[in-house]
Structure 1
Amino acid sequence: MNARWTRRLGAAVAAATVLLGVAACGSDSDSADTTSGTSVVADAGQFPVTVSGKFGDSTIEAAPTRAVPLSPQDADILLSLGVTPVAFPVDAQNRAATGGTGIWPWQQDALGDTTAVETLDMDTGADSIAEKIAVLEPDVIVSTGFWGLDQSTFDQLNSQVPVVHFDTKANGEPWQDSTRKVAAALGIPEKAEEVISEAESNLQAAKDANPTIAGKTYNAIIGDTGGQLSVLASDERGIGQFLTSLGLVLSPYATALPVDADGRGILSYENISEMNADVEFVVSPTGDLGYLTKFEAWNALPAVQKGAVVSLARNTGLPNAIGFPSAISLAWATDQVMPLITDAVSKSNAG
């Protein structure tokens, strides 16, 4: 990879704020139209293939062989399509939650017996990241979930290597649309449909096997943002899309909350008592709910008093698996979370 490419990539990465998984997915007030699908200008499976995105088009001239993802969710999408990334982007958060490997459990499951994998450390300086990407010599960059991508970064990267990216914002489209877009760029659009169909069938099977969940209301507390709480305010993507696919219903109060720039609901502490639902989900760093249990209004909620609370600790990977979903992360998360949900619903019904 030539020095000119490295310098230009370095400038691009320097312009980006690298954020891989700081917060579990909330909701977007400007979520993409899920009926729009992926924009592709080419016959299926033939090259060149052009895919569109928020910042412009990317043309892949020939079947890629070296795909570099810029977020763990992008790595998931590649794995779900049967493509092993050249390297896995990692940061301090997923290293801490995975015993230092930076590889999530569902990713390791997809890798099978493969244990030695290349990683791309996204916590290092911009120049170092640029050098590492250059050494990897990608022929396609996948960035549907990389929050640091802006117009300038896209223009500089895409002039050297085609960048397959989002339509509205990082992690802003349903995982199905992102999977279709990446598969189209790889020349395997039919594989996306297989992957999506199987994943959706598995979710439906889990829903059918647990009919007591259907129609139960829920709230999801995403975290403390200093003086107020971030809560799920939409079921259109991420955690909301996952829980809704299992038959749960987001509380009407949550959907009426004002939202922040990322579409997450904003809840003042004095209004905690309004967050009444059959089941309460709580995201926290390590499962410690102290930031809520210190409030009597939280402790007085019927679901809390009954024990109908599902804890999603970041150090388990669960918030990432369902907040930044993919076909493989959802399959893993369903096995992990469904017993917790059925237990919480049972406790809610017993009251």
Structure 2
Amino acid sequence: MRIHKRLRRIGVALAATAVLAGVAACGSDTDSDTTAETTVAAEGQFPVTVSGKFGEVTVEAEPTRALPLSPQDADILLSLGVTPIALPVDAQNLAATNGTGVWPWEAEALGGDVPPLLDMDAGATVIAEKIAALQPDIIVSTGFWGLEENTYGQLSEQFPVVHFDVRANGEPWQDSTRKVAAALGIPEKAEEVIEQAEVDLAAATEQYPALEGATYNAIIGDTGGQLSVLASDDRGIGQFLSSLGLELSEYATTLPVDADGRGVLSYEQISQLDADLLVVVSPTGDLGYLTKFEAWNRLPAVERGAVVSLARNTGIPNAVGFPSSLSLKWATDEVAPMLADAAAKSE
């Protein structure tokens, strides 16, 4: 009876949260003083204690059944050589992957051995039951927007829940990778994959010198009456673009931001968005929601053709908006040539 009571309590907690699958804009965090220290044991030694917004997490013994609660967390596990016991999916993820739930960069890492899917849109009770039935010995939730304090409290009664220090997808991917690797008892593996990813990014900047110092603005979406615009380059898509040598426009950093750090821009201010190149996240690559405004069409960057559209149904916005060393390598190969072509048009 005790397990059923816990499942009901977890179900109620999950019902009160939302699974957010869009690309997070990269705003600055104002509550970074909540970050705690992570105690990293030597390779393979336990117990290990890692920090988290809702409390420190202690892993008593080496985990063998890791369950991620977001695709980004699945990517981090795969990058560390750990196959998740299930892959979390939602409607957006399934639509963008033709129903497989597996991103291209994940498919390469998994080979032909795809774990079962955990439908995060299935309903609170179903999700709670499936989590318990999977019998994880560790849950990884650095990028799951639905993890709130009450949900964490219920899950952590049964499983160690490795999670974010500030908010989901709120820390650089390197920090999240280090935290997860520490909890798994393989801290040295984190440094290995981080170093390789940074080598790959450095190689791309050398291959595409036109990116160095070029300014950009990034439109993340239309929220109905206003635009969401990248306002900081400290995480997600902004961190990716800056790692290639691009510089976010000074104007973007002056915009007011919403609760998730996305810059808020009215349509009347579109004319302020000019830069050497413009990056636009769109549902399918179609920029109709912008081209209907004459102010957009008159932007010098638009007139030069210095616009890069990242279609959600290709997976690219997810690869760069919720980055891992795994997704960044794939994204760099896909996006860097397009960015370099756009940057060259500003010369």
Residues 114-158 of structure 1, C-alpha deviations (whole Å, 9 max, x = no match): 2x4200001111001111111100000000001111111111111
Q: 1:253: which partner in 2? A: 251
The two structures have a TM-score, normalised by structure 2, of 0.96
2:63 is the alignment partner of 1:56: no
Q: Which amino acid aligns with 2:141?
A: S
Q: Which residue of 2 aligns with 1:13?
A: 14
Which amino acid letter does the alignment assign opposite residue 55 of structure 1? F
Contact 1:38/1:177 (<8 A) preserved? no
What is the CA-CA distance between 1:112 and the residue it aligns to? 1.8
Partner of 1:278: 276
Tell me which amino acid in the other structure corresponds to 2:59. I
How do 1:324-343 and structure 2 match up within 5 A?
324-343=322-341
| 1:162 counterpart letter in structure 2 | P
* Paired residues of 1:29 and 1:259 also in contact (CA < 8 A): no
Contact 2:40 2:48 in 1 (8 A): yes
Q: CA deviation at 1:44?
A: 4.3
AA at the equivalent of 2:103: W
Distance 1:67 1:31, change over 3 A: farther
When the two structures are superposed, what TM-score results if normalisation uses the length of structure 1?
Answer: 0.95
Amino acid in the other structure paired with 1:248: L
**Moved segments of 4+, more than 4 Å:** 31-34
Query: Does structure 2 retain, via aligned residues, the 8 Å contact 1:38–1:180?
Result: no
Distance in structure 1 (CA, Å) of the matches to 2:61 and 2:112: 30
What is the correspondence of 1:187-202 to structure 2 with a 5 Å cutoff?
187-202=185-200
Q: Give the count of matched residue pairs.
A: 345
Identify the residue that residue 105 of structure 1 maps to in structure 2: 104
Give the equivalent residue in structure 2 for 1:297. 295
Query: C-alpha displacement at 1:9, in angstroms?
Result: 3.0
Contact 1:314 1:320 in 2 (8 A): yes
Gaps of 5+ in 1: none
Matches within 5 A, 1:87-98: 87-98=86-97
What corresponds to 1:151 in structure 2? Answer: 149
3-state SS of the aligned residue for 1:50?
strand
Instruction: Give runs of aligned pairs for residues 169-180 of structure 1, distance below 5 A.
Output: 169-180=167-178
| Matching of residues 76-87 of structure 1 within 5 Å | 76-87=75-86
Instruction: Kindly provide the CA deviation profile for residues 74-128 of structure 1, in whole angstroms up to 9, marking residues without a partner as x.
Output: 00000000000000000110111111001111111111232x4200001111001
- Amino acid in the other structure paired with 2:177: T
Distance 1:31 1:85, change over 3 A: farther
Change (3 A) 1:80 1:32: farther
Whole-Å separation in 2 of the counterparts to 1:5 and 1:37: 28
Give the aligned CA root-mean-square deviation in angstroms: 1.7
Q: Where does the alignment leave 5 or more consecutive residues of structure 2 unmatched?
A: none
SS at 2:309 equivalent: strand
Q: Whole-Å Cα distance in 1 between the matches of residues 167 and 264 of structure 2?
A: 20
Quote the offset at 1:32 in angstroms: 7.4
SS in 2 for 1:252: coil
1:84 aligned counterpart, secondary structure: coil
- Note the C-alpha offset of 1:45: 2.8
Partner of 1:131: 129
The answer to whether the 8 A contact 1:73-1:145 is kept is yes
Between the aligned residues of both structures, percent identity stands at: 69
